[in-house]
Structure 1
Amino acid sequence: MFDFDQYLGFLAFLAILTLGFWLMIFLITFVIPYWIGGALMERFKEKREEKRAKREAAVH
C-alpha cells in the first residue's frame, strides 16, 4: 500500500497536524484568555488611578 518514504511522510504529516491541533487548543483555552484578562485588569487599574487622581486634585 505505502512505500517506506510515503509512510514516513504520512507520519510526519500526522505529527505536524497533531502538534498544530494541540497548540491551538492551548492558545484558545489558556493564553488568549490570560492575555485578555490581564489587559482588562490593567485598564481597570488605570481608570481607578485616574479617578483617584481627579478626586485628590479636586480636594486640594
Structure 2
Amino acid sequence: MFSFDQFLGFILVMTVATIGFWLLIFLVGILPYWIGGSIKEIMDEKKAAKQEKK
C-alpha cells in the first residue's frame, strides 16, 4: 500500500513543518524583545549624550 519512500517523504515534510513552526514561535517571542531593547538602548545613548553636552 505505502512504500518506504513515501514514509521518508512524509517524515521529511513533517520535520520541515515542525522546524518552521518552532522557528515562528521563537521569532514571535524573541524579536519584539530584541527590537524593543535595541530601541531603548539607542534612546538611552542619545539621552546620555544630550546630558553630557549640558
2:28 alignment counterpart = 28
The one-letter code of the counterpart of 1:3 is: S
CA-atom RMSD in angstroms: 1.3
Aligned length: 54
Q: Find out whether 1:54 has 2:53 as its counterpart.
A: yes
Which of structure 1's runs of 4+ aligned residues deviate more than 2 A?
none
Structure 2: segments with no counterpart, 5+ residues: none
Q: Find out whether 1:6 has 2:21 as its counterpart.
A: no
| Inter-partner Cα distance in structure 2 for 1:48 and 1:17 | 45
What TM-score, normalized to structure 2?
0.79
Structure 1: segments with no counterpart, 5+ residues: 56-60
Q: Percent identity?
A: 50
| Inter-partner Cα distance in structure 2 for 1:42 and 1:50 | 12
What TM-score, normalized to structure 1?
0.73
| Inter-partner Cα distance in structure 1 for 2:33 and 2:24 | 15
Deviation at 1:39, TM superposition (A): 1.0
Q: Which structure: larger Rg?
A: 1
